Amino acid sequence: MRRLLQNRLLLQLLFTFMAALCVAALSVVLISEAISSAERVVVGETHNTIAAALAELKQQYRYRASFDSSWSSFPEQARDISLRGITQIVLRSYPGVEGGFYANGDFLGYAFPTHDTGQAKTDVPSAERGLIVSINQQSLRAKHFAEQVIRGKTDLLVLAAEPTQDGTVVWAMKRLAGRGAPGTGRRELLLAILVLAALVSIAGTLATGLALARGITQIKRGLSQLEQAFEFQLPERSDELGGISRAINRMASTRRKLEAELRREDRLRALGRLSAGLAHEIRNPLNSIRLTVQLLERRADTQSIRREDLKTVRAEVDRLSVLLNELLDLQRSRQPQPKLQPVLPVVEHCIDLVSGQAEMQDATIHFETPNREVRASFDSQQLTQTVVNLLLNALEASPPGATVFVEVGHENGMARVEVRDEGNGLNAEQREHLFEPFYTTKPNGTGLGLAVSRELMRSQGGDVRLMPSATGARFVVELSST
């Protein structure tokens, strides 16, 4: 020890050696953290991609199953062919994702439309079959989304599944390059060379360590900015971190393209829902006009035609004219024009509009209000559409001779219009999907009436709710009192 202390050169070499080991160890930690961080980002994006693919597959399956009431009795081969077509169409928008459906222990509709061979792949991968069965059964038992990330020797496998209402499971998976994949070995070799170089020259080690620290800091800063804005591009690097930067930039570019496509599809779907919603609302005034004309035909024989019946027809024609103008002028989406006004006159007008329907069904509409001075802020035309829609639904659900109850009041600072019928009520599944667009239990319904009504009320600070009821269905329209 004394000899070592006396030999300053050896002591300096020892300190240099220790510093080099420390710098090398720090470099190992920093590079591993950078690689792990990039891998977590890629796995996170893959999770989002697979989740979106499963949601779309599940939605398409629900549409397919609800389209044909005999779907559950289809032969397995026919269901497999039909579902494979759905999988091919949906997964074509998700590069590298393969998947399908799992029901009663069998695979249905498997497809891998972006398989790199360019040929259709329809057989479930045998190597991962056990893992796929396991995640499907796990999801089925838990009754919710389940996911596994499995690390292999050369790649990562992200596998997810989600059950549908009828017990069928949709599943998808995607393979990612892992740390043992081609290219990552090169980084490990560079890291080993870096350690050896640190043992020879402290200067080189420090320079390399500082460069790596700056690069990792740059990547971390870039990743933080990517969390805020996915348009950001990491600066191109020529060192071993350049591959990570370029991979992240490619991932961000792919994400931007997918988001742009999704926004375009969302706009088209929104346009379709708007057009269908307006067309649906046209049916109600037409029905009111038809019923009023039928009553006029009856009363013509008895010379008892009332002027109020003609007013009803004229009011509904005016309402049709407004709706058709909106349908023909879609580029100017009509915004609600709420104003503070009494609720009672609008509700009474709605009852007058459906009185012909009630008379035809031998039904009674019982209207009461504890406070006739109830006022709220709302668009009277949109409230008319909403309340008429609820009244017509209540009359359709009521048996002959039944009573539909309508009440106006205040509760929790909100004006309320309640419509309750004496029908058979709604089961659990109907309550769950009641306000979803295109969900309907009527043979000729579009499934848009309640969805459109809720959106109309929410756009002006109100809402439409289904409330618990001992008998029949009970809907409440909430309106802001300010």
* Span 170-204, pLDDT tens digits: 999 998 876 544 445 565 666 667 666 666 665 55
- The H or E element containing residue 465 is strand 463-467
Phi, psi values for residue 366, rounded to 5°: -100, 115
The answer on pLDDT for 270 being more than 60 is no
Domains and CATH numbers, the chain: 73-177 (3.30.450), 270-480 (3.30.565.10)
Pairing label, strands 155-163, 146-151: antiparallel
The answer on pLDDT for 147 being more than 60 is yes
Please compute the mean of the pLDDT values over residues 311-323 and round it to a whole number: 73
pLDDT value at residue 10: 47
The answer on pLDDT for 105 being more than 60 is yes
Q: Whole-model pTM above 0.75?
A: no
Cα separations in angstroms, 434 against 106, 426, 437: 31, 9, 8
Q: Average model confidence (pLDDT) for the chain?
A: 78
What sign does the CA torsion over 387, 388, 394, 398 have?
A: positive
What is the three-class DSSP state of 347? helix
CB atoms within 10 A of CB 132: 25
Phi, psi values for residue 415, rounded to 5°: -75, 145
Residues with Cβ within 8 Å of residue 244, at least 6 apart in sequence: 34, 35, 38, 219
Residue carrying the six token digits 């409230």: 383
pLDDT value at residue 200: 64
pLDDT value at residue 289: 80
| Of 60, 88, 52, residue with least CA distance to 258 | 52
